[in-house]
Amino acid sequence: MSDAAIPTVPDAVGPLVGWRAWRIQGDGSPEFGPPRLYSIAFPCEWPVRRALDARCLQTHTPHLPEVPVKRCRCGIYAVRSPKHVFGALYHSEYQVLGEVFLWGRTVVGRKGWRAQRAYPKRLCVLEGSVPDSAIEGLRVYGVSVEVMGRDELAAQPATEPEPPSVWQRVMRALFT
């Protein structure tokens, strides 16, 4: 395990949990490789059992390596309620919603946050949208993978902050 993967409890902001959407790339075939979560806005793969570290990809707002910063738009995005990302599921290539742990530097926004580091907490795959092999493939992330219909997905509750003790236990289980 590299140093970059070791989660540390943030000083100011407690561990957060948000919602976001992903697309799946790869179907387990030799040609396309194993299924992996990808961000929607950027062609960014979410690593397995390693935190995703944010990088600034905005070229018009140069700033120090700290990511995210308030005056930029960088960071890993998540929102409080699945309702804010549910619209993404109407684009057929985005089939997964889920909760993510967020930590490190965090910028608070109106609907959620932009964070320095993230890892999925729980994945909800839209029923009928993804082959079973891809759903099984997502289990390498080591978190719960649930299949549900649109209505059930839309009815998922907004997130609550995770107590630090629970969060640390989950992080240890995932990354060691």
Q: Which residues bind Zn ion (CB under 5 A)?
A: 56, 58, 72, 74
Smaller CB distance to Zn ion: residue 25 or 39?
39
Q: How far is the CB of 100 from Zn ion (least distance, A)?
A: 19
Q: How far is the CB of 70 from Zn ion (least distance, A)?
A: 10
C-alpha distances out from residue 91 to 28, 40, 85, 87, 154, Å: 22, 10, 11, 8, 15
Q: How far is the CB of 87 from Zn ion (least distance, A)?
A: 25
Smaller CB distance to Zn ion: residue 24 or 67?
67
Angle 89-118-101 from CA coordinates, rounded to 5°: 80
Smaller CB distance to Zn ion: residue 62 or 157?
62
